[in-house]
Amino acid sequence: MDPSLLSTRQLTKRFGTRTAVDGVSFAIQPGEAVGLLGPNGAGKTTTISLLTGLLHADGGEVLLDGRPLTGDTDPRKRLLGLVPQELALYEELTARDNLAYFGALQGLRGPALSEAARSALGFVGLADRERDKVKTYSGGMKRRLNLAVALLHDPQLLLLDEPTVGVDPQSRNAIFENIEALRRRGKTILYTTHYMEEVERLCDRVIIMDHGRIIVDDSLAGLKQRGTSVNRLRVELAEVREGTWLESVRALSAVRAAEFDALTLELTVADIARGTTEVLACLQHHGLTVTGLATHQPSLEDVFLQLTGRTLRDV
């Protein structure tokens, strides 16, 4: 049996002639936090809709807890909690009534439902607004309630589709801290976002999609490793000096390229730590004084750009 909590095999979805998800296979182990990245239209939301059964695949399959789902009423669907990209809330209802409605859909009732609603509202910091209609909420509060809905039945695996999109930085941070807390509680997380720093903060592993296909599925460290050619080092020198020192710098084992202009030495290095050590030692050996040093390690955005030739925010 497949030990993964969730896995897909050759998952495919077409809309007319467009293939939105094109043979996607991956597996998520219990306790993992996986970032799902890709530009607009890459197929992220469609993939998540296939995972939760909101859409039916044209090919391939989804295995939950080692076995395929057996339709919409399969009780194992309760392992999943979905935070959809589009808010799914009733604006005319209060927060409490929204939770009562969605909790009932999950089979919760009576004291268990009240307790689940109270706990979820407290967790996202909305306990004091529970009797207000959702239409009076700010965008950030709606996003927090959207998260609370997904938590009601205490799912093991959370599928979060851009849960912090379109909110101010303060609300974004509050939601993000909630998600970090869920992770610390041992929840398994699939996290879709356009924010690189969020993936770097939350996830162990990254799946990058483009045009419906997975182009990378790797650990965060492994992914950065692929972008080593963009490790950069900038060294400011106190004076311009003639001589062979620049040739010596270029000959260092960690240095791939070096340019000197005005008082600035720009380097591409194989490894930031080794490059910095070697370069500083070499400059000192030649009697040069260093007045500034800056490093640039590849971000996930750099890596994506390298892999696809496009930025994450390109349409």
Ligand X SMILES: Nc1ncnc2c1ncn2[C@@H]1O[C@H](COP(=O)(O)OP(=O)(O)OP(=O)(O)O)[C@@H](O)[C@H]1O
Binding residues for ligand X (CB under 6 A): 15, 18, 20, 38, 40-46, 85
Specify the residue, 62 or 230, whose C-beta has the smaller distance to ligand X: 62
Cα 221 to Cα 283: distance, rounded to the nearest angstrom:
30
Work out how close the CB of 103 gets to ligand X at its nearest, in angstroms, rounded to a whole number: 27
Work out how close the CB of 51 gets to ligand X at its nearest, in angstroms, rounded to a whole number: 12
Picked from Mg ion, ligand X, none, the partner binding residue 20 (CB below 5 to 8 A depending on kind) is: ligand X
Cα 228 to Cα 269: distance, rounded to the nearest angstrom:
8
Helix (H, G, I), strand (E, B) or coil at 193: coil
Residue whose CB is nearest to Mg ion in the complex, by number = 45
Picked from Mg ion, ligand X, none, the partner binding residue 40 (CB below 5 to 8 A depending on kind) is: ligand X
Phi, psi at 96, each rounded to 5°? -60, -45
- Cα maximum dimension of the chain: 83
Burial (Cβ within 10 Å: 0-12, 13-18, ≥19) of residue 290: middle
Specify the residue, 29 or 52, whose C-beta has the smaller distance to ligand X: 52
Work out how close the CB of 86 gets to ligand X at its nearest, in angstroms, rounded to a whole number: 10
Specify the residue, 5 or 209, whose C-beta has the smaller distance to Mg ion: 209
Tokens of 100: 């009562």
Give just the sign of the alpha carbon dihedral 82, 86, 87, 90: negative
Picked from Mg ion, ligand X, none, the partner binding residue 46 (CB below 5 to 8 A depending on kind) is: ligand X
Work out how close the CB of 158 gets to ligand X at its nearest, in angstroms, rounded to a whole number: 17
Specify the residue, 192 or 231, whose C-beta has the smaller distance to ligand X: 192
Cα 1 to Cα 18: distance, rounded to the nearest angstrom:
34
Specify the residue, 66 or 166, whose C-beta has the smaller distance to ligand X: 166
Work out how close the CB of 222 gets to ligand X at its nearest, in angstroms, rounded to a whole number: 22
Asked if residue 225 lies in contact with residue 272, where contact means CB atoms within 8 angstroms, the answer is no
Work out how close the CB of 301 gets to ligand X at its nearest, in angstroms, rounded to a whole number: 15
Residues at the site binding Mg ion, with contacts judged by CB under 5 A: 44-45, 85
Specify the residue, 197 or 266, whose C-beta has the smaller distance to ligand X: 197
Work out how close the CB of 284 gets to ligand X at its nearest, in angstroms, rounded to a whole number: 49
Specify the residue, 44 or 143, whose C-beta has the smaller distance to Mg ion: 44
Please report, for residues 129, 260, 263, 291, 304, the alpha-carbon distance to residue 268 in angstroms, rounded to integers and kept in the order given.
53, 12, 17, 19, 19
Please report, for residues 55, 232, 252, the alpha-carbon distance to residue 246 in angstroms, rounded to integers and kept in the order given.
60, 17, 10
